[in-house]
Amino acid sequence: MSVLLVLLFLSLATVNINEGCIESERQALLMFKHDVTDGANRLSSWSLHHGHGDCCQWDGVVCDNVTAHVLELHLANPRPLLDDYGSDAENEATERSKLRGKVNPSLLNLTHLSYLNLSQNGFGGIPIPEFIGCIESLRHLDLPKAGFGGLVPNQLGNLSSLEYLNLRADIEDNLYATDLQWLSGLSLIEHLDLSDVDLAQASNWLQVLNTLPFLKNLYLSGCQLPQVPPPTHLNLSSLAILDLSLNDIENSLGGSIFHGLSLYSLDSLQFLNLGSNKFQGKLSSAIGNMTSAIDLDLSDNELEGPIPITMGNLCNLKSIVFSELNLNQDVSTILAVLSGCVSNQLDKLDLSGCHLSGQLTNQLRNFKSLKELHLSGNSVSGPIPISIGELSSLRVLELDQNQLKGQLPSSIGKLTNLEILDISTNLLEGVVSETHIGNLPKLKVFQASKNSFVLRVSPDWIPPFELELLGLRSWNVGSMFPLWLHSQKHLRHLDISGSRISDSLPGWLLNLSSPFQYLNLSHNQIHGQIPGIPWAMSVDLVIDLSFNLLSGPLAPISPNVYFLDMSNNNLSGSLSPLLCYKLKETMGTEILNLGGNVLSGGIPDCWLNWQNLLVIKLSNNRLNGSIPSSMGTLQSIVSLHLQKNHLSGEIPLSLNNCTDLILLDAGENELHGSIPRWIGDSLRKLVVLSLRSNKFSGYIPDELCAIGSLQVLDLADNNLIEVYQDV
């Protein structure tokens, strides 16, 4: 009989599965879909048509296999925002895939919902819905960077079954909490992330956290934590992860957090991040008690060295980030301290900006597991040791801004996993050939500017890598543009300034398939005309072609060019081809430098579509005519350089609209009339005013004395009337 009952139960369960999800819960999901804007059709399967009626089969929905109740909603944006190297199209796609609108209270009908993830969406700054605090079955609530703002609702404290809560915010959403007492209702919480939630008014934050006995992972980065008194008993011994970075915490607060205990006595901690605070004093030898430590970040504090010898006992350490500390120590001594059991496990060592001296030694070969080595911004000298080639796991090697000498060892070519190599701003010299960089297939960033290297590769060489950043400033790359650059389809940042190139500017360089973000070819002997700069370039593009031998007329530029410097060349002709090419196109350019050329003709009246300009440099040319009145529409401009031309007429009254001007230099022209009184009335931020060597006449207006910020006033060599007053 019992066997028959079991078979009957199984048959009923099977029928339930075949019937699909529960009707009330299906309707709840459809109501949720109705209230959100789904630009990428992520919820297209949420439909009653075309055989999609079973909501347990809908994308992002997880049901119980037996009861068919909805248990989980996985609605995080599947396209998280990319870093600075993400293309405009990729970032637009990410924005489009965000769910927007509002969250319908119909989710309350999902009475068995234990998991809710809405992260990385775009709910436009609306408050976190209070009704979420009534979904008592929730054990996991994931809302990081979902676009919620305003006050965190106290109702979340009703989620007594919650084990995981992530409210990590975007700063622009202004998510905040003035009181964290509601957290005490989350007695089972193990993972809590309130990073970038403003807690500046939550004076009870530490007191409440001390009541959570099962808390293991605590993230409070960038929360503006206030100073608080210590609790009588600190109960954070279960913590495995503690992140209090970016809070400006001072020593006094640090002491209160650990209530008289040594900072390093929390021997259960595996990950500790106190970076970007204001801790002071010497690193304590008690750090050696953190025997469970895996990841230790004390960067950007006011702590001082030396590194305690006891750190050599932390055999579980995989990451040490001590950047921007005042260690003031010989780098070889630090390597000696860590060369025991620590070196066998260490993946990352960041000692950049730590006032280190001395030389790198062959102790490096002890760090076989090292994937990242950051020693930027120190005073490390001597050669790069040959043993660097034995660190076969290295992905990031940053030795820039030191005093390293000698040649680049050929053993660097053995680092086949290397993705980032930065040796810029040192005293290195010698030949760099295919032996050094020809076997680095994963290399994405090669920064070696400000050294004295000579590049010597075969003319038909095709690198095995696809670079995104390349810096060869001050190298000798030869008289011709390196043809192998043509193979770099993902290059966004290129600096080959001062590299002895005497070639013409090749069209292919500006037409590579991957748009540039930064292009610096300055201080060479590049000649010939400038081809048009393609309009498919990246937004905020920086182009520096200054100090070359470029000639011929100006060419139109992309509206995406943020910074354009073509100064100190032999460019001739009118400004019109550049300034007036598309009068209806809004130009994004903020800095425009055409000084030191042989440009002639008048300044065209085409400034209405250049409203983003902050700096204009047209000095040292052969421009004539008057200053056009449309320059007065540039209300954001802070620096205007017109000196050493043949400009005539009066200073136009329209410039009184440029109230943010800090520098105005129209010296060494043929301007006449009186010096306008409105300069003193309107341009109250001026620091430098130079009108020297013109034909101004009359009196110096008293209004200039009202410019309190003025530091340089040069009116020499004009026809001004001098006024003497008896004392």
Condensed to tens digits (0 to 9), the pLDDT of residues 602-639 reads 999 999 999 999 999 999 999 999 999 999 999 999 99
Measuring CA to CA, how many Å separate 719 from each of 133, 652, 667, 693? 78, 19, 14, 9
Please tell me the predicted confidence (pLDDT) of residue 481: 93
What was the pLDDT predicted at 726?
47
Q: What confidence score (pLDDT) does residue 259 get?
A: 37
Average pLDDT value over all residues in the chain: 90
pLDDT at 11: 40
pLDDT digit string, tens, across residues 361-389: 999 999 999 999 999 999 999 999 999 99
Which tokens is 80 given? 């998280």
Decide: 423 and 443 in contact? Cβ < 8 Å: no
Share of the chain above pLDDT 90, in %: 78
Query: Which residue ranges form the domains of the chain, and what is each CATH number?
Result: 22-266 (3.80.10.10), 643-727 (3.80.10.10)
Q: Is the pLDDT of residue 94 over 90?
A: no
Over 70: is that where the pLDDT of 2 sits? no
pLDDT of residue 14: 37
Task: State the pLDDT at residue 172.
Answer: 87
| The pLDDT of residue 724 is above 70 | no
Inform me whether the pLDDT recorded for 716 exceeds 90: yes
Q: What are phi and psi of 665, to 5 degrees?
A: -125, 105
- Give all strands (DSSP E) within 167-233, no chain letters: 175-176, 191-193, 217-219
Neighbours of 654 (CB within 10 A): 15
Q: How far apart are CA 179 and CA 302, in angstroms?
A: 30
Residues 223-257: pLDDT tens digits? 999 988 766 676 777 899 999 999 998 875 444 44
Dump pLDDT digits (tens) for 325-352: 999 999 999 999 999 899 889 999 999 9
Residues 6+ apart with CB under 8 A from 28: 104, 106, 107, 108, 109, 110
Alpha helices in 312-413, H assignment, sequence order: 331-338, 341-345
CB-count burial class (<10 Å; 0-12, 13-18, 19+) for 367: buried
Q: With contact defined as beta carbons under 8 Å apart, do 273 and 249 qualify?
A: no
- For residue 6, pLDDT over 50 is answered with no
The closest of 269, 231, 223 to 249, measured between CA atoms, is 223
The residue with greater pLDDT, 157 or 288, is 157
pLDDT for 228: 81
Which residues are registered as beta bridge partners of 495? 471, 520
Contact 290, 269 (CB under 8 A): yes
Tell me which residue of 408, 490, 495 sits closest to 443, measured CA to CA.
490
Confidence of residue 534 (pLDDT cuts 50, 70, 90): low
Q: What are phi and psi of 585, to 5 degrees?
A: -95, 125
Mean predicted confidence (pLDDT) in 254-281: 70
pTM equals 0.87
The dihedral built from the CA positions of residue 388, 393, 399 and 400, taken in this order, carries a sign that is positive
List, for residues 125-174, the tens digit of each pLDDT value. 999 999 999 999 999 999 999 999 999 999 999 999 999 999 999 988 89
Measured distance between the N- and C-terminal CA atoms of the chain, rounded to whole angstroms: 123
Distance CA 24, CA 152 (A): 29
Q: How far apart are CA 249 and CA 226, in angstroms?
A: 8
